[in-house]
Each structure stands twice: as structure tokens, then as C-alpha cells.
Structure 1
């Protein structure tokens, strides 16, 4: 999906308050978010649980508990940290314990974890402060794993989305033109920023980048259910959202009513150094 525009100053560089507003907007339809957002491949969960020295997992920006449920199904004990009460409520109803806080301000209160994970959230967190907080919460040998699902959609779908979004969101801080590029190209700066933040924070071995490729079929209805959960669209008035969905739906109809998305799940993984618990 669209990436944040870059540049020196406004309007090229978005106001941080705008980005914080977007980060906190996903709870506006938390049930849809939980229903429509993709899960993560089992290979990722296996990679992290195999590397972690024990069962205690901290899920940063846990949202509605999508990641937490996958780790709980693998036999792990999960605590979520989530700033949005609406998202946290959905996670709790599904059985995940949640502390409501922004991660940078969250207090571990003496608790220690074997893995700190973050699915589709680390780009909203200060990369150095977040890595330092993770190091403080992890036991020696514990694993920090930050990951994203990167979807490559048919060009007809991305083009229809970009054109519609530019029309209804002319002042958006999101870079809709980036949607025409290979999806991983748009995400690569986030991976690099994450790795640099881990190195700057200290307390970890050199970060490793890990990738798993997979595919998922979408019907027209499935994709139009997910599309409003993406950052640029979460706060659109219903009439303007309907415009975007109509244009994208028409593009999917022209493809026969559905398509297959190619996903790359990319994780940045680092192991906490040291010999004593935080």
C-alpha cells in the first residue's frame, strides 16, 4: 500500500501529528481490521519460536490480536501492548492480555520476555527508542522480530487505487505514486531504518533480514473489505471512500472478479546480547 512521502519540509514531509493521527485511526473499524487483514505465514512463527529461549512473547502494537493469536496457537504466552483502546478491546475479547500504552512509554514493570514481536507496526515507533525498550524487556538470548506483510497486487488494481486516492485525497501525506513501483522497493527504507535503529540502540547482535514468499486469493468483496483498513483510507468520509471502492471494484471486475496477491513477509530479527536479565 502507499508509503509515507519523504522530503525536507511541509508539504513534502508530512506533519508528524498527521502520521500519529493515521497510526491511531485503525481502531475506527476494529472489527473490520481484525476480519480483513492478512495473517502471517506459519514459517515466520516457527522461525521466531524456534529461536526464542522460552515461551513469553511481547506483541508490540498488537492491534486486534492477529499476531498474538498466532503465537498463542503455537503454545506461547503473549502480552500485547496497544495504544488504541478500541483495538485492545477486540484483542481482549479473543483472549489476549493487553497493556494500553504507546510502546516507547510502556513500563515492563519488572517483566521479562523471550521474544518481542511487532507485525505491521514498527514504522509507527521510534526505531531507536523502540529497540532500546525491546532490549530492556528481553531476557539475554531473547529475540526481537519486527515484520511486515508486503503485498504485490496486479498493476490494474494498484493503478486504480492510486488514481482514485489522488483524486479524493489531494493533500494526503501518503505517496500514492509509489504504488506503481515494486512493493518491496517501497518498504526497503523501513527495513533499513529498523536495522539502523537496532544497531544504534545497542544490546543486540547484528540484525538479520528474513523473508518468506506466499500467495493469497482475493475476491472482489474480500479486497474491498480490506482496503478501508489501510492508512490513507481509515478516516475518509463514507462518500469519498465509496468513490475509491467503486473505482477499485471496477478494476477487479475487469480482471474477472478476483485476483491473487503475491506476498513477501519480511522480518528484521536480532538476538539480545548479555548474560543478565534486564
Structure 2
């Protein structure tokens, strides 16, 4: 389930789905990805379940199956589509059926679904071609639900990471930004692009946004374990990654070794006519 790298920076210019080297880098440590990435609010799963007309669900860019397992537990029949074989291997270890393909070129072989979901993945898919493919595999009344977890680090941690990234990643478009609210501003742009793709593709109704705020206490070790799975750092040389992690760790130590991580889960929903 790859992310906009990382979740609190503006979308990659010109378009995330064209950044293939980053999009295909997450499987380099698929087990860490599955272990450290946050799950999605159960309230979101329930809301999608309430709105969907049936139990057949397609998880697009399913990654290691984080979202798929939540929907499986909610009673859905789940099929995953994932372009990275390394991620698909981990998903299958949890008993999930996964077909390896990019969604735009995937062959559904006549199969239809009640729900198409994409957790932390829709920005890696062409917004028009992806929406058209989703419309083509959904039954009438079926639901397209693309969603993302957007995190907001404490200002002290954001500033520390931003400063070290300015030194070791001066030309990277995947920099952290220390400005308050930068995370949700980035995703506003991402959601707008996805909504434009849905409208241009046809076959789906006017997209609607859902949002849910939540939080959890994140320890130093947990955050440093997750950071290498973020797109800003998946291809960073070990010595530079060590500098980034050291700066983040020192900032978290100064906060007492843990901090309240604030999340907003944002979702874009469209119904097949």
C-alpha cells in the first residue's frame, strides 16, 4: 500500500503516478512496511461497508494487504491487485489472493465488484485511466473508495527532519515541510486531482470527500522504524538515512521519547451509475 512520499509534503510535480522509481521502491523492505504502517480507522471500514451494495471487493495497489485484511475481517470477499511482486508475496502470506499487475493494464476477465478500494495508493495510478477502469469493473451502485492516512508530526520533529533533509536531500521533491497544516494542504491537491480524473473518466457519480481525525501515541522506536518505508527515504543511501533518523530520534528524545501523532484519514468516494 504505497504512500505519497512522505504523507506530509506537497504532491510530487508534475504528477505522482509518473514517479515510477519511487512508486516501485516500497517493496524493498515489504515486511517493515507491513509492520510499521498504520492501519485505517474501523469507522471508515464500517462506513464503506454501509454504503456498498455487496461483499465483492477489489483492493487496488493492495501492497502487503493492510487495508485488505481489515475488509476481509469485515466480511468482504477480497481480491488484491498489486504491481510489486515483493509486496504481493507478503500479502499472500496472510492468505490474501493477489494478482500482480498495474491496475490500468490489469485484466479483470469479466469479473465485477461491489467496491473498489485503494488505501494509500490511488495517487500512483493514472487518475483518468484508473477511474475508467474502476467504473468498468464496478456493478451498478458500486463504490470507488480511495483513502489515505495523513499524519501531522509535532513541530519540533518536523523542523528537525526538515533541516537535515535540506542538508542531505537539497534537490529532492520529497522533502518534509515544517509549516503547520502542510500535510492536509498537500492532500487537498491530491484529492482535487483524483476528483478531476473521476469526472473526466465518466461512469462514476460526483465524488464526495470523507474525513476522520484520530491519534495515537507514537514512540521513538516506532517512528524511526517507519521512516525508512516513506518515499522520501526508500532509496536514500544508508549513511544519509542514518543522519535523518538521528535527527528525528534526537527531536523525539527531547519530547520525552514519544509524542501524540495526529492523523486525518481522507477518503474520496464515487458511486457507479
Aligned to 1:137: 137
Q: Report how many aligned residue pairs link the two structures.
A: 265
Partner secondary structure for residue 213 of structure 1:
strand
**1:1-278 to 2 correspondence within 5 Å?**
1-6=8-13, 19-177=19-177, 179-182=178-181, 183-273=183-273
Shift of 1:3: 3.0
| Gapped regions of structure 2 (runs ≥ 5) | 1-7
Whole-Å separation in 2 of the counterparts to 1:81 and 1:15: 19
Partner secondary structure for residue 133 of structure 2:
helix
Shift of 1:251: 0.2
1:67–1:119 Cα contact (<8 Å) kept:
yes
Q: Kindly provide the CA deviation profile for residues 73-121 of structure 1, in whole angstroms up to 9, marking residues without a partner as x.
A: 0011111110000000000001111010011111111010000000111
Whole-Å separation in 2 of the counterparts to 1:86 and 1:105: 19
Of 259-268 and 156-165, the range deviating more from structure 2: 156-165
Q: Kindly provide the CA deviation profile for residues 149-189 of structure 1, in whole angstroms up to 9, marking residues without a partner as x.
A: 01111011111111112211122122433x42412111100
From the superposition, tell whether residues 15 and 85 of structure 1 become closer, same or farther in structure 2 (CA, over 3 Å). Answer: closer
Of 55-64 and 232-241, the range deviating more from structure 2: 232-241
Whole-Å separation in 1 of the counterparts to 2:107 and 2:215: 38
From the superposition, tell whether residues 210 and 3 of structure 1 become closer, same or farther in structure 2 (CA, over 3 Å). Answer: same
Whole-Å separation in 2 of the counterparts to 1:192 and 1:255: 35
2:128–2:201 Cα contact (<8 Å) kept:
yes
Whole-Å separation in 2 of the counterparts to 1:74 and 1:21: 34
1:5–1:175 Cα contact (<8 Å) kept:
no
Whole-Å separation in 2 of the counterparts to 1:205 and 1:4: 25
Whole-Å separation in 2 of the counterparts to 1:51 and 1:238: 45
Shift of 1:237: 1.5
2:65–2:96 Cα contact (<8 Å) kept:
yes
Whole-Å separation in 2 of the counterparts to 1:203 and 1:46: 25
1:14–1:173 Cα contact (<8 Å) kept:
no
From the superposition, tell whether residues 167 and 106 of structure 1 become closer, same or farther in structure 2 (CA, over 3 Å). Answer: same
Whole-Å separation in 1 of the counterparts to 2:179 and 2:81: 34
